[in-house]
């Protein structure tokens, strides 16, 4: 390790400071300090988010959009305030374009079953990419079975980037939708989504972006991107599990049939006829995850306290440092070398299966993910059954990379014995 | 962590690096597949069974050290055993890795006992064994221990 690596790093000290906002990061695992590097699976939560959910149940709990009583009004205000907060995070034109869902998976299923099922027919085509998470593959496969539409796949190059020249050729008069991920969950690749949207729109094709891995690491502006749908999960953005957002352009959402039927999504019901509520409520049947939405709002507020430039600089400097440190390990191969990527490092070690790596790293207090990361087609593309994946967040530092590297070296020693 | 040394004993690593009975068995009359999709562990087991006795066993596949070593050790220990004896051995191994049993009577398979301290790895250690059961019972669909 070079001397400069050991020198004072401003952003590293910052991260050590930010880390104190997250109570769980004080934990020990196997009597070692926890080094949490599984942020692409889920991030830890700042105390403010944990307290927001707790306080909701302590002081505000009531059902929303129903009651005349004060508590119900307060709960409704807090819930709708969270919607406005999410609107501002994505820079959506209106809060009625923000639909609360369970997470990215439900958001994509909603679009597939509402938008897709009402419009797609036999012979139509949906374009996905080879790096999609299963949650952006399976809902479309189900839709294809229902409608007779087919999937077309944008391939990925050896560095883990979309082959845009192939994409251009896939767009044709049969294309009805493009659904791609903003950021790859196993490679870290940031896709050229603005370009994808522009090209698709030239063919009159709407685009859904899976923002699950993007929102905590990049500023997102749905109006600038001009995407038609954008989906993300709260729990990957330092928020609670079980809450997420589907953004959709109002004109598209207005024309879509409901996804689920029930309370809150109706205006009036008789046995003869039901009229549906306006946006966004038409897509929020049943009592929603009120506490989760409020927690998500607070998580977004927490993120808003940061200067994006500072955050991006920190995570990019961490990526550069980690890529260098990992490349120096003999027998380690990094899967995903895109020019534009966030701080996610998938790797395989010669002569070791990722699961053995994961077990030994856990013994050192280092939490990483091993397996196919819900990316089985992508694993096949790179000829590996699984990888080990270290994924970073704002509270990670160079120290965490150093511990990861020593833990990997320790794993190699165990296997050399 | 001494539990780690217990898990990755020299014998386990040796069987991982140089699996015994690796490859296909041309005259197999019982074949079954095991697949743990979350892990990616995959095994295809070939048995030659005559008069209720396992005369030969080979396997191919791709898996972690625990899954591979367990398959390798298993093929060594079931050769020459009657099917019912092999299934009893499965019960003993399962009891040892999942239940923390002493593993008395399993002979050198005792090296797998360290898995007990790692509940998330029990499925790796038992995949080959459940695949053997499926082979003996002529189960056509891949088995899983996840």
Three-class SS string for chain B? Answer: CHHHHHHCCHHHHHHHHCCCCECCCCCCCEEEEEEECCCCEEEEEEEEEECCEEEEEEEEEECCHHHHHHHHHHHHHHCCCEHHHHHHHHHHHHHHHHHCCCCCCCHHHHHHHHHHHCHHHHHHHHHHHHHHHHHHCCCCCCECCC
A385 touches chain B (CB under 8 A): yes
Beta-bridged to residue B82, according to DSSP, are B53
Residues 6+ apart with CB under 8 A from A357: A349, A368, A370, A388, A408, A411
pLDDT given at position A184: 98
Q: Which residue has the higher pLDDT, B41 or A171?
A: A171
Given a cut of 80, is residue B4 above it in pLDDT?
yes
Beta-bridged to residue A389, according to DSSP, are A346, A369
Min Cα–Cα distance to chain B from A305, Å: 38
Confidence of residue B140 (pLDDT cuts 50, 70, 90): confident
List the single best residue of B64, B71, B121 to mutate versus A (max A Cβ within 10 A).
B64
Query: Is A356 close to B66, i.e. CB distance below 8 A?
Result: yes
Among chain B residues, CA nearest to A369? B39
Q: Which residues of B touch A360 (CB under 8 A)?
A: 4, 8
Q: Which residues of B touch A385 (CB under 8 A)?
A: 40, 42, 62
Query: Is B38 close to A417, i.e. CB distance below 8 A?
Result: no
pLDDT given at position A3: 44
Among chain B residues, CA nearest to A30? B1
Angle in degrees, 0-180, between the axes of helices A354-363 and B65-78, rounded to the nearest 10: 110
Min Cα–Cα distance to chain B from A319, Å: 27
Quick: pLDDT tens for B44-87. Answer: 999 999 999 999 999 999 899 999 999 999 999 999 999 999 99
Sheet holding A387-391, edge to edge: A332-335, A344-349, A387-391, A369-371
Which residue among B37, B42, B64 places its CB closest to the CB of A355?
B64
Query: Is A351 close to B17, i.e. CB distance below 8 A?
Result: yes
Min Cα–Cα distance to chain A from B1, Å: 7
List the single best residue of A30, A355, A379 to mutate versus B (max B Cβ within 10 A).
A355
Min Cα–Cα distance to chain B from A363, Å: 7
- Give the whole-angstrom CA distance, residue B36 versus residue B146: 6
B108-134 average pLDDT score: 94
- Interface of B to A at Cβ within 8 Å reads 1, 3-5, 7-8, 10, 13, 17, 37-42, 62-66, 68, 118, 120-121, 124
Quick: pLDDT tens for B88-116. Answer: 999 999 999 998 877 778 889 999 999 99
A28 touches chain B (CB under 8 A): no
Backbone φ/ψ region at A262: left (φ over 0), alpha (ψ -120 to 50), beta: left
Question: Can you list the domains of chain A with their CATH numbers?
Answer: 3-45+307-416 (3.90.1150.10), 50-304 (3.40.640.10)
- Give the whole-angstrom CA distance, residue A67 versus residue A411: 58
Q: What is the CATH number of domain B2-136?
A: 3.90.1010.10
A89 touches chain B (CB under 8 A): no
Quick: pLDDT tens for A346-389. Answer: 999 999 999 999 999 999 999 999 988 888 899 999 999 899 99
Q: Among residues A365, A379, A399, which one has the least CA distance to residue A29?
A: A365
pLDDT given at position A33: 97
A413 touches chain B (CB under 8 A): no
Query: Is B121 close to A353, i.e. CB distance below 8 A?
Result: no
Quick: pLDDT tens for A237-279. Answer: 999 999 999 999 999 999 999 999 988 888 888 888 888 999 9
The count of other CB atoms within 10 Å of the CB of residue A17 is 11
Percent of chain A residues past pLDDT 90, beyond the cut: 88
Min Cα–Cα distance to chain B from A397, Å: 25
Among chain A residues, CA nearest to B15? A415
Sheet holding A125-129, edge to edge: A98-101, A244-248, A229-233, A207-210, A175-181, A125-129, A150-154
A367 touches chain B (CB under 8 A): no
Query: Is A363 close to B10, i.e. CB distance below 8 A?
Result: no
pLDDT given at position A1: 42
Confidence of residue B40 (pLDDT cuts 50, 70, 90): confident
How many Cα atoms occupy the beta-carbon half-sphere of B61 within 13 Å?
35
pLDDT given at position A2: 44
Among chain B residues, CA nearest to A385? B40
Query: Is B40 close to A417, i.e. CB distance below 8 A?
Result: no
pLDDT given at position A4: 47
Percent of chain B residues past pLDDT 90, beyond the cut: 78
Q: A177 by DSSP, 3-state: which?
A: strand
Question: Which residues of A carry out catalysis?
Answer: 374
Residue with tokens 């879509």: A256
Which residues, given as ranges, of chain A have pLDDT below 70?
A: 1-10, 417
- Give the whole-angstrom CA distance, residue A81 versus residue A293: 9
Residue with tokens 């998580």: A299
Which residue among A351, A363, A386 places its CB closest to the CB of B40?
A386
Q: Which residues of B touch A335 (CB under 8 A)?
A: none
- Give the whole-angstrom CA distance, residue A40 versus residue A315: 13
Query: Is B40 close to A351, i.e. CB distance below 8 A?
Result: no
Among chain A residues, CA nearest to B11? A417
Two structure tokens written together for A100: 């609360």
Tell me, what DSSP letter sits at residue A258?
A: P
Among chain B residues, CA nearest to A350? B17
Top mean-pLDDT range of A182-186, B39-43, B115-119: A182-186
Which residue among A376, A386, A415 places its CB closest to the CB of B13?
A415
Two structure tokens written together for B11: 């014998």
The DSSP code sequence of A329-372 is STTEEEE---SSB-SEEEEEETTB-HHHHHHHHHHTTEE-EEE-
List the single best residue of A385, A412, A417 to mutate versus B (max B Cβ within 10 A).
A385
Q: A307 by DSSP, 3-state: which?
A: coil
């Amino acid at each position: 390790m070079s001397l400069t690596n050991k020198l004072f790093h401003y952003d590293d000290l910052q991260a050590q400071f930010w880390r104190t906002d997250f109570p769980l990061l004080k934990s020990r695992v196997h009597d070692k300090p926890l080094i949490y590097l599984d942020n692409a699976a889920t991030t830890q939560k700042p105390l403010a988010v944990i307290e927001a959910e707790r306080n909701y149940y302590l002081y505000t709990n009531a059902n929303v959009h129903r009651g005349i009583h004060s508590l119900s009004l307060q709960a409704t205000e807090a819930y709708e305030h969270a919607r406005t907060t999410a609107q501002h995070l994505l820079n959506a034109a209106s809060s009625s374009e923000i639909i609360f869902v369970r997470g990215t998976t439900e958001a994509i299923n909603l679009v597939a079953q509402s938008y897709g099922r009402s419009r797609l027919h036999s012979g139509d085509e949906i374009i996905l990419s080879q790096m999609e998470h299963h949650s952006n593959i399976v809902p479309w496969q189900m839709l294809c079975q229902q409608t007779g539409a087919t999937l077309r796949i944008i391939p990925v190059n050896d560095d883990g980037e979309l082959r845009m020249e192939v994409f251009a050729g896939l767009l044709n008069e049969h294309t009805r939708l493009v659904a791609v991920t903003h950021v790859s969950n196993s490679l870290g690749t940031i896709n050229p989504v603005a370009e994808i949207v522009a090209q698709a729109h030239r063919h009159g094709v709407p685009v859904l972006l899976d923002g699950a891995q993007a929102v905590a690491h990049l500023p997102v502006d749905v109006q600038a991107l001009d995407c038609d749908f954008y989906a993300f999960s709260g729990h990957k953005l330092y928020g609670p599990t079980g809450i997420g957002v589907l953004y959709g352009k109002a004109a598209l959402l207005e024309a879509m049939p409901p996804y689920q039927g029930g309370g809150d999504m109706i205006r009036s019901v008789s046995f003869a006829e039901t009229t549906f509520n306006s946006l966004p409520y038409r897509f929020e049947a049943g009592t929603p995850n009120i506490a989760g939405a409020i927690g998500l709002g607070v998580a977004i507020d927490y993120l808003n306290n940061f200067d994006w430039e500072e955050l991006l600089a920190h995570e990019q400097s961490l990526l550069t440092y980690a890529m260098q440190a990992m490349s120096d390990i003999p027998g380690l191969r990094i899967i995903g070398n895109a020019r534009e990527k966030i701080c996610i490092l998938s790797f395989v070690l010669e002569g070791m299966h990722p699961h053995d790596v994961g077990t030994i790293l856990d013994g050192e207090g280092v939490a990483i993910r091993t397996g196919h990361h819900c990316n089985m087609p992508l694993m096949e593309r790179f000829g590996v059954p699984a990888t080990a994946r270290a994924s970073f967040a704002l509270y990670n530092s160079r120290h965490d990379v150093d511990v990861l590297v020593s833990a990997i070296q320790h794993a190699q020693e165990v296997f050399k014995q | 962590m001494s539990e780690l040394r217990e898990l990755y004993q020299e014998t386990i690593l040796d069987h991982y690096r140089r699996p015994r009975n690796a490859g296909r068995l041309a005259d197999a009359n019982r074949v079954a597949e095991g697949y743990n999709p979350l892990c990616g562990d995959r095994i295809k087991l070939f048995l030659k069974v005559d008069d209720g006795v396992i005369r030969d066993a080979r396997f191919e596949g791709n898996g972690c050290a625990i899954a591979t070593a367990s398959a390798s050790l298993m093929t060594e220990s079931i050769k020459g055993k009657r099917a019912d004896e092999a299934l009893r051995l499965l019960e003993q191994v399962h009891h040892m890795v999942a239940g923390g049993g002493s593993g008395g009577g399993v002979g050198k398979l005792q090296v797998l006992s360290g898995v007990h301290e790692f509940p998330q790895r029990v499925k790796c250690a038992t995949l080959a064994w459940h695949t053997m059961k499926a082979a003996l019972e002529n189960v056509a669909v891949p088995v899983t221990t996840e």
